[in-house]
Amino acid sequence: MTQKIIEKASFDKAYRFYRNKNDKAAIGVIRKLDQNEPRVMELKAQIAYRMENFEEAMNLLKKLLRTHSDEFDEIRRSNFIAVQARLHSQGFSSRS
DSSP string across 3-27: HHHHHHHHHHHHHHHHHTT-HHHHH
Residue 95 located in a structural domain? no
Range of the domain at 78: 3-89
Residue 32 located in a structural domain? yes
pLDDT at 89 over 60: yes
Counting residues of the chain whose pLDDT is more than 70, the rounded percentage is 95
d(CA 25, CA 3): 21
Residue 94 located in a structural domain? no
> Would you state the pLDDT for residue 92?
81
* Residues 6 or more apart in contact with residue 47 via CB below 8 angstroms: 18, 23, 26, 27, 30
Residues 60 and 51 sit within 8 Å (Cβ to Cβ): no
Rounding to the nearest 10 degrees, give the CA dihedral for residues 72, 56, 44, 27: 180
> Would you state the pLDDT for residue 3?
86
> Would you state the pLDDT for residue 91?
86
> Would you state the pLDDT for residue 95?
54
User: What's the average model confidence in pLDDT over 26-44?
Assistant: 96
Report the CATH number at residue 74: 1.25.40.10
Residue 83 located in a structural domain? yes
Count up the domains in the chain and report the number: 1
Q: For residue 33, what pLDDT band results from cuts at 50, 70 and 90?
A: very high
